[in-house]
Structure formats: C-alpha cells, structure tokens
A and B are shown apart, each in its own frame.
Chain A
Amino acid sequence: MSMRHRYRHPGLNLTDTPDEHLAKNETTIFGFWVFLMSDLIFFGLMFAIYITSIGATAGGPRPHELFDFTSLAIQTVLLLTSSLTVGFASLVLKFDAKSGNLIVWLLVTLLLGLGFLFFEIRDFIEIAAKGGVPSRSGYLSAFYGLVLLHGLHVAMGCLWLVVIMIQIQVFGLINVVTTRLIRFALFWHFLDLIWIGIFSVVFFGGLHFG
C-alpha cells in the first residue's frame, strides 16, 4: 500500500496500522476534528462575550487590579511545555512504541497539566480575595466564564489522560487505545491554542482595554 494511501486523516498518522483498522480510524479521528470545531465555536462565543463585557466592571475591581502576571507566565510555560511533551509522546507512539518512553512522556504531560491547574486555582483564590468574584460584575462573570471553561477542559483532559494511561497498562497499545491517544493529543494541542487566545485577549487585552 502506498504511503499516500496510509495518510488518511489530518494530524499524526500511525504507520503500522493494520489494514482492517484504517477506515475506522480515519472516521474516528476525523470525527474528533469535527467535534473540536464545534467546541471552538463554544470558546469563540465566550471570547465574544468577554470582549463585549470588558467595560462592564460596574464599579468593581478592574483587570489591572486582579491579574498576577508572574503566575500567568508560569501557567503559560507549564501548558505550552505540556503540549511539547504530548508531541513527544505522539512521536514515541509512532516510531518507538515498544520502548516504554511513552508512559514517561504522558506522565510528564499529566504533571504539567496538573501544575497548570494548581496555579490557575491559586490565581482564582487570590482574585476572589481581592473582591474579584463573578457575582460582582458582568465583566467578572465573563472572565470567570471563559477562563473556567478552559480550566474545566484541562481538568477533563487530565482525567482522560489518566484513563488512557490505565488502559495502556491494561490492554497494551491496541488500536482502540492508540486512536484515543491520538485524539487526546489533538484535544491537548487545542487547549493550548485556546490558552494562547486567553492569554492575549483576556489578560493582555483586559489590561489594555479594561
């Protein structure tokens, strides 16, 4: 079978997939791309709500009184690095699946993800302590709505990753598990992209326009 024929879906394709799984995997992974597209609309709308609410602080705390950019820089480094490590995990899956490095990279990804959540929750607590709670203003509602939505996605991603790691131990790298891993990697990169949007629009944008 030609190489061209084996690249059946966007993103990383595994080269040693048996023929019987090719069509099904193509469908499954394409379906996940479509899901991400729908999820992206969700985020897009929350961005729009945030932008329209930037001035709606209603006398409550304003962006520059709330954000801790040191913590945000740490969060960004953690999450972007986790995107890199999940990329390494994907490469190991494709070229060196038997080596056992896969689980190491996945574990590093998980720890980075949890680290991100730790700093994000710490930030939320600090912001709330400064009077920045969602019930205070439309602006803060929109802020929490969007950033929490992303945080929940990351938390779900961590849970998903734990499940996949258990399944790798239980079943080995069978086709069902490897396609889940490919989809997880797409999801994780997607959350990274969203974070870049949040960092630029919510934090820098909020600082500049709020």
Chain B
Amino acid sequence: MNQTHSDLLGRLNLDSLPITALIKNPGTNEIVANVAGLVMLVGVLVVLFILTKFRLWRPLWSDWLTSTDHKKIGIMYVVFGIMMLARGVIEGVVMRAQQAMGAGSGFLEPDHFAQLFSTHGTIMVFFVAVPFVLGYINFVMPLQIGARDVAFPVMNQISLGLTVAAGMILMVSLVVGEFSTGGWTAYPPYTGARFNPGVGPDYWIWAIVVSGVGTTLSGINFAVTIYKMRAPGMLLSRMPLFCWTVICSSILIIFAMPPLSVAALLLGADRYMDFHFFTNDLGGNMMNYANLFWLFGHPEVYLLVLPVYGMYSEIVSTYSAKRLYGYLSLVIATMSIAVLSFTVWLHHFFTMGQSALINAVFGIATMLIAIPTGVKVYDWMATMYRGRIRFNVPMIYLVGFLILFVIGGLTGVILASPTVDFQVHNTLFLVAHFHNVLIPGVLFGLLAGYNYWFPKAFGFRLNERLGKLTAYLWIVGFMITFLPLYVVGLMGMPRRSYSYTDTEFVPWLVLAFIGALMILSALLVFLEQLRVSIRDRDQNRVPFGDPWDARTLEWSISAPPPEYNFAIIPTVTKRDAFAEAKITGQAYGSDDAYEDIKLPKNTPVGIMLCVLSGVWMFALVWWIWWLVALVTALIFLLVIGWSFFVDNERVIPAAQVRQEHQAWLAKLKATPPVDRDKEFSPENLGYAKTELAGDA
C-alpha cells in the first residue's frame, strides 16, 4: 500500500484499485480478487439497469426507502441480509477450496486468505445474522403484540440506514483498497497502526462502529415497543414466546453493544490519533481489548440465537397443532441464558494468562448455560410429542436443528473445560464448534422463519418442493462441511491457515470442500425457490392471512397486512389469542369500533443518513479530512433540521379502515375454510379450518 497522500484524496490513489495489482503482478491471487470486485460491480450495474428499465425508481423511493413502516423496514433488512449471505457463503467456499488444494499449495496468497476469513466472519455475524434477526423482529414482533408500529419508527429507519451503510463500506473494500487481515475479532496490537498501517483495519473499525450504533438503536426501539405498546390484555405472561426472546435479546443489545463500540473506537483512537490504549509500548494493554470485545462478543451470540429460539418455538407449536409445551420454563430458560451470557466472556481467551481459578469460574459458568438450553430442547420435543405434526419446510429445519445443535452444544461444553481448551484452542475444532451452533442455531431458524412468515409478508406461499430441497442441502451440506473440521481440529490443524504441511489433513479438507459446494448449491436452490415462487404466485395466494392454521395475532389479519396492521386493536384474554379465537369461533369478528388511525409520515432522513454515513466512513478510511469535516457538518444539519419537522403524522380516516376491513371480511366469509390436507393446494387462501381444539 502506497502511503503518500494528497489533500484532495487523502491516501487514495491508483494503487488502491485491485486492477493495478493485477497489471503489476498477474497471478491467480490477483485474478480472484479482481473477479470478486468485478462480480460486485456487475451486480450493482444489473440492479441499476433493472430499476431503470422497469421504472422502479419512484416506487423504490416512495414505497420503500422513505417508508417508516416496520414491516417494510423488516423486509429491507432481510433482503440486505440475503445479499450479504451470498458473499459470505462464496467466501467460505473459496477458503475451503484453498485448504482442499492440499499441503503447501493453493491459489491464494496468505494476505488474501486472511482478508477472506476476516470479511467472512465480519459479514456473517454483523451483516447476515444481525440484519436477518433484526428484520424478522421488525416484521413479526409488533404484529404479535397487537401494535401498529414500533415505538420509534423514524429511528428504526435510521437503524436500517446505518446497518446498510456499514455493509456497503465492506463491499467497497472489495474494490478500493483492502480489508483487514486481523479476523473478525481484529485483535490489537496486530491491527494497530504499527503492524498494520494500511486501510484494512480502518474499514473494519468504521463498519463496526456505524452498524453498532444502528443495532443499539434497534435494541432500544424493540425493548420500548414491547414494554409500552402491547395491545390491551397482552400481559407479559400472555406474549408469544418469540416476543419474550426479543425482549431478552433487546436487553442484551442495550448492554452488550457499547463494549464493542468502545473497543472499536479506542482502537481507532490508537490508529488515528496515536493514543496508547492497546499498543505494545507506552503502557497500552491489549487485554483490555480482549475483555471489551468478548464482553460484547459472547452476549452477541445469544442476542442472535435467542430470537431464533423464539421462532423455533412458534414453528414447533404451529406445525404440531399443539400449545407450546412448558411456556413458563421456556421464559425462565430464556431469561437465564440472557443473564448467564454476561458471565462467560472470558472463555474466549482461557489461554491468555489469567489464573487457573478465574478460568475455572468462567468454565463452570459456561457449562451452566447448557442447562437452560437443554430445558428448551426438551420443551420443543415435548411440544411435538403426540402432536399432529406436519413436516413442512420449517419443521425439517427444526428437526435438523434439534439434532445438530445438541452436538454443537456438547462440543461447547467440551471447550468450556479450560484444560481441554488449552489443547484445542485456535484449531479448526473451535471453528467446527461455532459453525455447529451458529448454522443450525441461527441460520436454519432464519430459513425456517423465512418459509413460515413469507406468505404473511408477501401474500403468497413459497414453493414447498424447492424449499425442502434447500433444507436438505443445507443440513447435509453443513454436516459434510463442518463435522470433518472437528477431526482435523483434534489432529491439531490451526484455524485460519492458508497452508499446511501435514498431508493427513487432506482427505478431510477435501470432504469439507465437497460439503461447501453443497452449501453453495443450497444457496442457489434457495434463490431458485424464490424465483419459482414469484413466478407461480397467483396459484399460491393467501389473502386471508392464515395459511398454516397458526396461533398468534399476526395470522389474524390479511396477507400482506394493511399498513396500519390491525383495523381494530385486538383485546387479548389468553395466551395464543388467535388460536383461542379460532377454537371458540370468535375469529374474524368485528365490533365496528373503527377509529381514525395515526401513522408516521414517510421521511427521507434514514436514507440520507445512510448515504452520508457511508461517505463519512469512506472519507475516514482514506484520510480525506475535508470530506470528513463536510459530511460531519451535513449530518448535524440534517438531524437538527429534521427536528424542526414537528408535524410527522398522517391520519387514515375510520371510514377507509372500515371499508377495507369489511370488504376483506366479506370475501373471507364467502370462502370455504380449507383443512390441512389442502395446505399446499391453490385452495388454501389462508382461511384455515382449524384443527385446534379444546385447550390446545
């Protein structure tokens, strides 16, 4: 990296582009880097072309980018997550290919390989799992508690804008300059200015800081929504379990994101202003970084996995046509995990020099987490017991999860023992472990939830056959990829190795590469399922909104839901309110209590902050100081100026709400309800002849 810099462009110059490297030093490594950049540029051009050709700019702007509707913001989060997932998976396959090429060979240079595992980790955690989870929470939670929006709709839009801007700056790092080589944890002093003077760690720092602000604001938003905006009668003890997991997850966000922001900002202070928080010399202390990072890092795992547990709980109960077993124990288990998650961070660095006693305390605390998790696994199985189970796509993911997650959990208990950890730390055993909990634990749940809630969001069901194929490819692909890594890990292969000498690893790594190809094909079939489903949407419409004979309030309204969600805010008298209403025949009633509904107006503030913060990060990374100052001033002006728009609400008159709702009810009453045998036939318009009965 050329370190000369000008006033106008900072340290940005021609050498920052990968094409320069290709011209100067042609080889496979540079070709891979250039192809990656090219694919991204082509992707951007294709999107721009489609938007222009089909004249989608105006609807994109007025229906989506400026919308404050929590449902649309949720969908945009998930679309962003899918985009980033594609990049993350491809990077994973390239890394598996590199290691499968055998001892001492391969096609990537060490630096490039290091960028790959750094971006792969950063993307998968911060720009796949987080946006996916936040997206689902955004879409589902307000509907489940009977609210018309989240507590702070504009702040919600800003959260999305900041997260997307940070993801985009990661994409930019593919084409301009290079990303960090310090892993997703970015430990100093390696990532400090002395050992890493280039732009890589700076890309990481600003992406983390900006997306961290976005996530924190989301956490505050969700917590306040649940505490203050539940429908009448929706006591905490009557909330769907998903909402319970969301409240725990929000609390984790509120308390656990600040340590990450502090860690990244202080690392930034070291790099930009010659501070000495984490340097080797002059009293810096990198252990502070390790503590800060994992003080965030461990709760982070649970803030991702808890909402997914909630989704599994909804799914298992719907597709078993049974009430969720052990609701109270699941709530207590969720809360226990949330609390315990703050007491275990040190197990991420058992080998970094603290006393045996401290290691033992944290090891035992870590093992304790297996207890509430075990309670949950038994509760889900007990829910299935003697239920009328339908093996729809989400249930396939659920069963895959139950089996594989237990294995992942057990290897976690193994790693929780400091003595064992000393043997296998920093090996592929660890890599296998955390993929084993995060893929079945988070990703499978997200894919299950995608199949489950998609009809609610878009008004038509997804193709079941391709959905099943995707699920099996993911499950088998996961096993073939990651179970061999346990073996090579135990054989002593260090993680993050671009090369190695022991030929005994080769067959296992080739196997893992085959598994990675299966995962890649799972991703492709997943996209194909979406394409086919959109093509066939007219045969799969579910306007009445309840295609799965489900239990919670979001299924009681049309699909897609009206922008105000509920024509009349429901009054809740029992847990699983919609199931209860269906059993007693009171669903789809109307007591004519329509009122004018106030909704927030559209505003461009979120998308403007998205663009400005994107430019701000880029300018900071490349030391373009005049631009940093300019954009900072613009951000202040925007926020202050926006605070002068005090008239932010628009009204939907009661007459319009009545007319829309009554028209929908009339159509529903004129349609015969369908039973579960016809779940996948075009006759399933989302009006379920319920199988639920008695106290179910």
Which residues of B276-297 are within 8 A (CB) of A?
276-277, 279, 281-285, 288, 292, 295
Which listed residue (A34, A46, A163) contacts B262, Cβ 8 A?
A46
Give complex CA distance A38, B127 in Å.
Answer: 22
Residue of B nearest to A34 (CB): B220
Give complex CA distance A41, B279 in Å.
Answer: 24
Are A145 and B285 closer than 8 Å at their CB atoms? no
Residue of B nearest to A39 (CB): B258
Residue of A nearest to B229 (CB): A27
Residue of A nearest to B256 (CB): A41
Number of A-B contacts (CB under 8 A): 111
Residues from chain B with a CB closer than 8 A to the CB of A63 are none
Are B640 and A163 closer than 8 Å at their CB atoms? yes
Q: What range describes how many residues of A lie at the interface?
A: 35 or more
- Report A16-42 CB contacts with B as 1/0, cut-off 8 Å: 000000010011101100110111011
Residues from chain B with a CB closer than 8 A to the CB of A35 are 220
Are A137 and B283 closer than 8 Å at their CB atoms? yes
Residue of B nearest to A180 (CB): B643
Residues from chain A with a CB closer than 8 A to the CB of B216 are 38
Are A41 and B220 closer than 8 Å at their CB atoms? no
Given contacts A38-B255, A163-B643, contact A134 B151 (CB under 8 A): no
Give complex CA distance A35, B257 in Å.
Answer: 12
Which residues of B249-274 are within 8 A (CB) of A?
254-255, 257-259, 261-262, 266, 269-270, 273-274
Does A13 touch B at the CB level, under 8 Å? no
Are B257 and A134 closer than 8 Å at their CB atoms? no
Residues from chain B with a CB closer than 8 A to the CB of A46 are 262
Does A113 touch B at the CB level, under 8 Å? no
Are B224 and A34 closer than 8 Å at their CB atoms? yes
Given contacts A42-B262, A45-B259, contact A135 B275 (CB under 8 A): yes
Give complex CA distance A137, B224 in Å.
Answer: 41
Give complex CA distance A138, B220 in Å.
Answer: 33
Are A34 and B254 closer than 8 Å at their CB atoms? yes
Does A116 touch B at the CB level, under 8 Å? no
Which listed residue (A42, A57, A135, A141) contacts B258, Cβ 8 A?
A42
Are B285 and A53 closer than 8 Å at their CB atoms? yes
Give complex CA distance A57, B281 in Å.
Answer: 11
Distance in angstroms from B437 CB to nearest chain A CB is 26
Does A52 touch B at the CB level, under 8 Å? yes
Are A49 and B277 closer than 8 Å at their CB atoms? yes
Given contacts A38-B255, A135-B275, contact A145 B269 (CB under 8 A): yes
Are A138 and B224 closer than 8 Å at their CB atoms? no
Does B223 touch A at the CB level, under 8 Å? yes
Give complex CA distance A58, B279 in Å.
Answer: 12
Which listed residue (B258, B282, B283, B636) contacts A41, Cβ 8 A?
B258
Are A38 and B257 closer than 8 Å at their CB atoms? yes
Are A145 and B220 closer than 8 Å at their CB atoms? no
Distance in angstroms from B281 CB to nearest chain A CB is 8
- Dominant secondary structure at the A interface: helix
The segment out of A68-76, A96-104, A167-175, A188-196 that lies at the interface is A167-175
Residues from chain A with a CB closer than 8 A to the CB of B295 are 45
Which residues of B217-251 are within 8 A (CB) of A?
219-221, 223-224, 227-229
Does A125 touch B at the CB level, under 8 Å? no
Which listed residue (B224, B259, B646) contacts A171, Cβ 8 A?
B646
Does B152 touch A at the CB level, under 8 Å? yes
Are B269 and A38 closer than 8 Å at their CB atoms? no
Give complex CA distance A137, B295 in Å.
Answer: 25
Residues from chain A with a CB closer than 8 A to the CB of B195 are none
Does B644 touch A at the CB level, under 8 Å? yes
Give complex CA distance A180, B642 in Å.
Answer: 14
Which residues of A120-146 are within 8 A (CB) of B?
134-142, 144-145
Are A30 and B227 closer than 8 Å at their CB atoms? yes
Residues from chain A with a CB closer than 8 A to the CB of B644 are 167, 170
Which listed residue (A34, A37, A141) contacts B275, Cβ 8 A?
A141
Distance in angstroms from A101 CB to nearest chain B CB is 24
Distance in angstroms from B276 CB to nearest chain A CB is 5
Does A176 touch B at the CB level, under 8 Å? yes
What is the number of residues of chain B that contact chain A, defined by CB distance less than 8 Å? 40
Are A27 and B228 closer than 8 Å at their CB atoms? yes
- Dominant secondary structure at the B interface: helix
Give complex CA distance A23, B224 in Å.
Answer: 12
Are B282 and A136 closer than 8 Å at their CB atoms? yes
Which residues of B607-639 are within 8 A (CB) of A?
636
- Report B70-100 CB contacts with A as 1/0, cut-off 8 Å: 0000000000000000000000000000000
Does A107 touch B at the CB level, under 8 Å? no
Given contacts A52-B285, A56-B283, A139-B283, contact A30 B643 (CB under 8 A): no
Given contacts A145-B269, A167-B644, contact A57 B285 (CB under 8 A): no
Give complex CA distance A42, B264 in Å.
Answer: 12
Given contacts A56-B283, A58-B283, contact A31 B220 (CB under 8 A): yes
Give complex CA distance A58, B262 in Å.
Answer: 23
Given contacts A38-B216, A41-B259, A56-B285, contact A135 B254 (CB under 8 A): no
Distance in angstroms from A106 CB to nearest chain B CB is 16
Given contacts A27-B228, A52-B285, A137-B283, contact A45 B292 (CB under 8 A): yes
Are A138 and B259 closer than 8 Å at their CB atoms? no
Residues from chain A with a CB closer than 8 A to the CB of B283 are 53, 56-58, 137-139, 141
Which listed residue (A34, A145, A177) contacts B223, Cβ 8 A?
A34
Give complex CA distance A139, B151 in Å.
Answer: 41
Give complex CA distance A142, B254 in Å.
Answer: 23
Are A145 and B275 closer than 8 Å at their CB atoms? yes
Distance in angstroms from B506 CB to nearest chain A CB is 45
Give complex CA distance A176, B644 in Å.
Answer: 10
Which residues of A56-91 are within 8 A (CB) of B?
56-58, 60
Give complex CA distance A30, B151 in Å.
Answer: 10
Are B254 and A31 closer than 8 Å at their CB atoms? no
Distance in angstroms from A65 CB to nearest chain B CB is 16
Residues from chain B with a CB closer than 8 A to the CB of A137 are 276, 282-283
Are B646 and A52 closer than 8 Å at their CB atoms? no
Residues from chain B with a CB closer than 8 A to the CB of A45 are 258-259, 262, 292, 295
Residue of A nearest to B273 (CB): A134
Give complex CA distance A170, B279 in Å.
Answer: 50
Residues from chain B with a CB closer than 8 A to the CB of A49 are 262, 266, 277, 288
Give complex CA distance A208, B223 in Å.
Answer: 41
Distance in angstroms from B323 CB to nearest chain A CB is 31
Residue of A nearest to B282 (CB): A58
Are B275 and A174 closer than 8 Å at their CB atoms? no
Which listed residue (B223, B261, B275) contacts A144, Cβ 8 A?
B275
Are B288 and A134 closer than 8 Å at their CB atoms? no
Q: Which residues of A line the B interface, CB within 8 A? A: 23, 26-28, 30-31, 34-35, 37-39, 41-42, 45-46, 49, 52-53, 56-58, 60, 134-142, 144-145, 159, 163, 167, 170-171, 174, 176-177, 180
Q: 26 A-B Cβ contacts within 8 A?
A: A27-B228, A28-B152, A34-B220, A34-B224, A38-B258, A41-B255, A42-B261, A46-B262, A49-B288, A53-B283, A58-B281, A134-B274, A134-B275, A134-B276, A135-B276, A137-B282, A138-B279, A138-B282, A141-B275, A142-B277, A144-B275, A145-B269, A167-B643, A170-B644, A174-B646, A180-B643
Taking A41-B259, A138-B277 as given, write out 15 further A-B residue pairs in contact, using a Cβ cutoff of 8 Å, ordered by the A residue number.
Answer: A27-B151, A27-B228, A27-B229, A28-B152, A30-B224, A37-B255, A38-B220, A41-B254, A41-B258, A53-B288, A56-B284, A58-B282, A134-B276, A137-B282, A138-B276
Enumerate the 9 nearest inter-chain pairs by beta-carbon distance, A residue then B residue, closest first: A138-B283, A56-B283, A135-B274, A58-B283, A141-B275, A41-B258, A31-B224, A58-B282, A27-B228
